[in-house]
């Protein structure tokens, strides 16, 4: 998306995380706007979700997000478990 930043129009990446509970109810988990996307950005998003109470992930699905698979498979630290993945 294009945003005005310091008097200039710049391209930024905007991502929305949506969770679906076991009853099928969707919840917006957050919106993140970053200068770029990559594993470091996604690692911070995953850490934030864990800190906010996400304790298990059954399926993670994304559409070719750069760095996302690396971030969610990063060893160490507390993070949601993964059972299936599609990219």
Give residue 69's pLDDT.
74
Give phi and psi for 48, each to the nearest 5: -65, -40
Do you know the residue count of the chain? 87
Give residue 83's pLDDT.
44
- The span from the CA of 9 to the CA of 46, in Å, is 28
Q: How many domains does the chain have?
A: 1
Give residue 82's pLDDT.
46
Note down pLDDT in tens along the chain; length 87 residues.
888 888 899 888 888 888 888 888 999 999 988 887 777 888 888 888 888 888 777 777 777 777 777 777 665 544 444 444 444
pTM of structure: 0.65
State the residue range of the domain holding 43. 2-86
């Amino acid at each position: 998306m294009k945003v005005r930043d310091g008097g200039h129009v710049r391209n930024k990446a905007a991502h929305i995380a949506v969770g679906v509970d076991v009853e099928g109810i969707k919840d917006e988990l957050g919106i993140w706007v970053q200068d770029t996307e990559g594993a470091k950005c996604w690692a911070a998003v995953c850490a934030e979700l864990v800190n906010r109470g996400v304790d298990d992930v059954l399926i993670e699905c994304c559409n070719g997000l750069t760095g996302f698979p690396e971030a969610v498979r990063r060893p160490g630290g507390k993070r949601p478990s993964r059972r299936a993945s599609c990219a």
